[in-house]
Amino acid sequence: MSYQLSKIKVLVVEDNKPMLELTKSILKSFGIGNVITALNGEDGFREFCATNPDLVIVDWMMEPMDGISMCRHIRNSDRSPNQYVPVILMTGFSEKKRVLLARDAGITEFLVKPFNVRGLYKRIFQIIEKPRQFVRCENFFGPDRRRRKKEDDYQGPFRRKTDVKKYKASSKAKTPIDEIDFR
């Protein structure tokens, strides 16, 4: 499906000028009418507060404020004009612990560098087609971290503590039940 993106405003925060210009060019090729840029998280947050964009694309590794810190400011600062804005994090680091850290900071989508045009469009499409509900609790504010639909919920042998008896009785059990922490 093709979208009319000419009226949306996107803020791109990236300290590498060639990557910043490339990302801006790709967004313009999608038909995005207004692309605002900043070279670090501090300037990016100032631009965010001044322009209130519809989407933020931010690099992780920047000085003096990185993309994760900027996202936390967007989600939690009293100065933030829109705590619900979608944030796409670009990074060359894709280890699971980094993805989880980004998710826990309130990042909406994760894009690994080097990325291609299709990958960026896919993230934007995901934000438009499948917006995620936001969750606020004591230590977190951001998009719901669970991505599975109700019908996709896990149905395996470790679903609930009550399933332990079924698992022990199963002839397919491959892991000693005593080694599994059901807490």
Residue 139 C-beta-side C-alpha neighbours within 13 Å: 2
Confidence bin at 145 (pLDDT 50/70/90): low
In tens, the pLDDT along 75-93 reads: 999 999 999 999 999 998 8
Residue pLDDT, tens place only, 29-45 = 999 999 999 999 999 99
All structural domains of the chain, each given as residue ranges with its CATH number in brackets, are 9-143 (3.40.50.2300), 154-179 (no CATH)
The reported pTM is 0.76
pLDDT at 180: 44
The mean pLDDT of 175-183, rounded to a whole number, is 44
pLDDT at 70 over 60: yes
Give pLDDT tens digits for 49-64.
999 999 999 999 999 9
Residue 134 confidence (pLDDT) above 90 = no
